[in-house]
A = this chain, B = another copy of it.
C-alpha cells in the first residue's frame, strides 16, 4: 500500500477554525489540486470565493455512463488538547495497523480513498467505468458558507447521478455500512431578561424575577422528564421508519448494556420510553440544552438574583420535519412557556433539514453490493443522529441522492485526540469504491 502521499497530506495542519492556519488551509487545497492534476483528472483547479477555496476536477471519458460527484473536505478540526496525543497530530504515525493523525478519518484519509480509487483506475487502465466530478471543500469543520453559495449557482456544471461521500463510520469493525438518513437541526439561544440588573436575593427574594430560573422553567416546559417534547405540533410530520428499516436495526450487532456503560458512561440511558434506542437517536426528534450562562457561577457563595440568562438549545429534526416550521413551533412554545416578569427571545444560530436517501435507489444498491463483495458480509443500513448539511444541499440544489459509504470506525476519535484510520479499512475502502465504480458503469 502506497501511503506516502496521504502522509504528506496529513502533515499539513489545515485547521479551518484557526485564522493563523490560513496558509496551511490553502496549502492543503493546492496539494489536492496538484495531486488530482498529476493523477490524470481534467481541469484540476481552485475555486476562489468568500472563504476557503473549493477544489474541482473532472474526468468525463465515459459518455453514456453515470456521473458521480465525489465529495470530501481537506480541512480538519483543531487538535487540542495536544498533551493527550500519543504521537503529534501532524506527524502521521502507524501503530497496530492504524494511521494516527488529525484528519486521518475526518476526512483527509477517507477523501484519499476516493482520490486513490480514481487515480488507480486511470493509472492501471487509462480509463474509468463512470464519469467523475470532484468537489472538495475546506470549510466543513467551520460554518463556512462557500460551498453553500457556490453550488446552487453552478448546478448544471455539477450535474451528476449521485454524490459519493466517504465521511461516515462503519457500524462495527468489518461490517460494511451505508448511512441512509441524517437528522436536521434548529439551534439557537434563548435570551431571558428579568430585572434591570442583578439584585440581592436577601433584599429582593420573593419580589424580583430570576432570569436563570425562568430559563430553566422554559426548558422544562419544552420537554418532559421522559424526553417527550412538549412543543405543540412538533411530532406532526415525524415519519416512522419503515418496518423493514426497523427490523434491519434490530439485527445490528449491539449490546445495549455495554453501550450504556462503556460508550455513554451513565447510570441509565434516557429518552422517550417504549421507543428502541436506534429509533430514538436516528429517527425521533430530540431537544437538548447545551448550556446556560447567567448569574454567579464562581467559587463560593454569592447571593445574586440573575437579571439575564442565555440558554443554548437545539432540536434535532427527522423526516419530514421542516426547519422553518419547527422554528415557528419553538418560538410559539417559548412564548407560551415564558414565566411572568421576564421577557424571552430566541436567536437562531443554525438550521438544516433532515434527509433520507432511498436505499432502493440503484446507485445505493450498487454501493451496498460493492461493499458486501469487498468485506465479505452483508451491508447494513443505518442512519446518523447528527447532521451533514451537504447531503441536504446535494438533494436540494442538485436533486441527487448521496451515497454515504463510510470507512471510519466508531472508535476513530474524530474531533478528539489520537484520531486514527484503520489501514485495513483504507485499503478495503479503495477496493470497495473501485468495485462500486465498476458496478455503476455496468448496464
Contact = CB atoms under 8 A, between A and B. Distances in A.
Nearest to A200: B386
A247 to B, nearest CB: 20
B316 A284 contact: no
Contacts of A286: 201, 205-206
B281 A304 contact: no
A185 interface: yes
Interface string A268-283: 1111100001001100
A411 interface: no
A276 to B, nearest CB: 10
B288 A213 contact: yes
Interface in A305-360: 305-306, 310, 312, 314, 316, 339-343, 349-350
Contacts of A385: 202-206
B316 A312 contact: no
A267 B193 CA distance: 10
Contacts of A339: 225, 270
Interface stretch (A59-67, A291-299, A395-403): A291-299
A288 B205 contact: yes
Interface in A147-182: none
A227 interface: yes
A294 B342 CA distance: 23
A182 B2 CA distance: 78
Contacts of A227: 206
B350 A384 contact: no
Given A206-B385, A266-B196, A295 B304 contact: no
A209 interface: yes
Given A204-B281, A219-B213, A296 B290 contact: yes
B210 A289 contact: yes
Q: Tell me the number of copies of this protein.
A: 2
A220 interface: yes
A136 B343 CA distance: 45
A62 B228 CA distance: 75
Contact of A207 (B200, B280, B301, B340): B280
Contacts of A197: 265
A187 interface: yes
Interface string A351-375: 0000000000000000000000000
Contacts of A194: 266
Contacts of A268: 209, 340-341
A281 B207 contact: yes
Interface string A84-98: 000000000000000
Contact of A293 (B216, B297, B306): B297
Given A205-B288, A281-B205, A270 B387 contact: no
A41 to B, nearest CB: 33
A145 interface: no
A208 interface: yes
Given A304-B290, A314-B201, A266 B208 contact: yes
Nearest to A300: B349
A312 B289 contact: no
A39 interface: no
A195 interface: yes
A386 B199 CA distance: 12
Contacts of A43: none
17 contacts: A185-B303, A196-B265, A203-B384, A204-B264, A205-B281, A206-B277, A206-B284, A207-B259, A207-B264, A210-B288, A212-B291, A267-B341, A268-B340, A270-B340, A290-B303, A297-B310, A303-B314
A-B CB proximity, top 10 nearest? A202-B386, A196-B265, A291-B295, A206-B280, A216-B216, A293-B297, A205-B286, A268-B341, A291-B297, A206-B271
